[in-house]
């Protein structure tokens, strides 16, 4: 059976005038429908690079990447991307921000407009429709950014450290919020994070990358998503064990220079 997303022997070298940086080397991995995957690894190892390749923004130097068995370059608008900074446009209202994706991709047909209204209603944004982003809390901004991405019905949602800019208190609530929207919409997701508790508590599988040029070092599997509350997941032995094991993997990475 085909996987939803498949990466085979992906490598990427950055070229500058002076030299070449080998960012990733022979990464093979897959993602199945409705899975939540986290990618962790040392800072600068190539996580953002990997997401950019999956998003079709960067072309790999070698290797093949397919979505539903088709080369990723032949698929259009199937990948949604959420960044650390929410990238909302301050001069557009919440509604105008959410509509932006549909405008850019020329998809403002009645069916999509209806879906947009449904999402706004379902996730409690009706009262904020005409507000500007600076009136919203950090958490609400991330929710708007997520809904803006979901409106485009991506088959895969990529999240690059989306909670990194939030303070500790807000972070907990926003993570639960984003995770439950993703679960409710049954979106396949790939999250890049340096926060192991986030990675383990949210994922079906956690892919640990080595330092640059990064390769897949180890993959951990969990059943934690069966438990609805993220805080409850963190109280289980399974959670503690996996966090511990990943620490050891990453720790050995630091000392192998």
52 binds Mg ion (CB under 5 A): no
Residues 6+ apart with CB under 8 A from 163: 142, 171, 174, 175, 178, 193, 195, 198
**Burial class of residue 197, CB neighbours in 10 A (0-12, 13-18, 19+):** middle
Q: Which is nearer to ligand ADP, 48 or 189 (CB)?
A: 48
- Closest distance of CB 147 from ligand ADP, Å: 25
For the bound state, the minimum distance from the C-beta of residue 105 to ligand ADP, rounded and expressed in Å, comes to: 26
* Segment interacting with Mg ion, rule: CB under 5 A, options 44-52, 100-108, 144-152, 209-217: 44-52
Tell me the H-state helices in the chain.
Answer: 47-54, 94-104, 110-122, 138-150, 168-184, 196-202, 230-233, 237-255
| Tokens (6 digits) for 40 | 């962790």
Contact at 8 Å (CB) between 231 and 61? no
Closest to Mg ion by CB, 57 or 104? 57
> Integer distance in angstroms from the first to the last C-alpha of the chain?
39
The single residue among 148, 212, 217, 233 that binds ligand ADP, judged by CB under 6 A, is 212
Which of 11, 38, 48, 203 is the binder for Mg ion (CB under 5 A)?
48
CB within 8 Å of 19: residues ≥ 6 apart: none
CB of 167 to ligand ADP, least distance (A): 21
Phi, psi of 226 (to 5 degrees): -65, -25
Q: Look at residue 16 and give the partner it binds from ligand ADP, Mg ion, none, a contact being a CB closer than 5 to 8 Å depending on partner kind.
A: ligand ADP
**Least Å from the CB of residue 47 to Mg ion:** 5
Among 10, 29, 45, 145, binds ligand ADP (CB under 6 A): 45
| Chain residues in the site for ligand ADP (CB under 6 A) | 14, 16, 21, 23, 43-49, 212
């Amino acid at each position: 059976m085909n996987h939803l997303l498949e990466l085979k022997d992906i490598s990427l070298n950055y070229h500058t005038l002076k030299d070449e940086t080998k960012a990733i080397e022979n990464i093979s991995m897959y993602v199945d429908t409705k899975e939540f995957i986290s990618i962790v690894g040392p800072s600068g190892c190539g996580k953002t690079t990997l997401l950019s390749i999956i998003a079709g923004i960067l072309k790999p130097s070698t290797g093949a990447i397919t979505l539903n068995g088709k080369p990723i370059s032949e698929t259009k608008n199937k990948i949604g991307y959420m960044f650390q900074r929410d990238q909302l446009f301050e001069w557009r209202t919440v509604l105008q921000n959410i509509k932006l994706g549909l405008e850019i991709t020329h998809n403002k047909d009645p069916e999509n407009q209806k879906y947009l209204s449904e999402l706004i209603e379902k996730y409690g944004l009706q009262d904020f429709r005409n507000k500007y982003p600076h009136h919203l809390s950090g958490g609400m901004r991330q929710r708007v950014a997520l809904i803006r991405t979901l409106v485009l019905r991506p088959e895969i949602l990529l999240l690059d450290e989306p909670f990194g800019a939030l303070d500790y208190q807000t972070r907990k609530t926003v993570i639960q919020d984003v995770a439950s929207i993703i679960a409710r919409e049954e979106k396949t997701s790939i999250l890049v994070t340096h926060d192991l508790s986030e990675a383990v508590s949210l994922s079906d599988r956690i892919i640990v990358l080595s330092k640059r040029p990064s390769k897949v070092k180890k993959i951990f599997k969990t059943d934690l998503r069966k438990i609805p509350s993220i805080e409850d997941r963190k109280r289980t032995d399974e959670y503690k064990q996996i966090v511990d094991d990943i620490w050891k993997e990453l720790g050995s990475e630091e000392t192998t220079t």
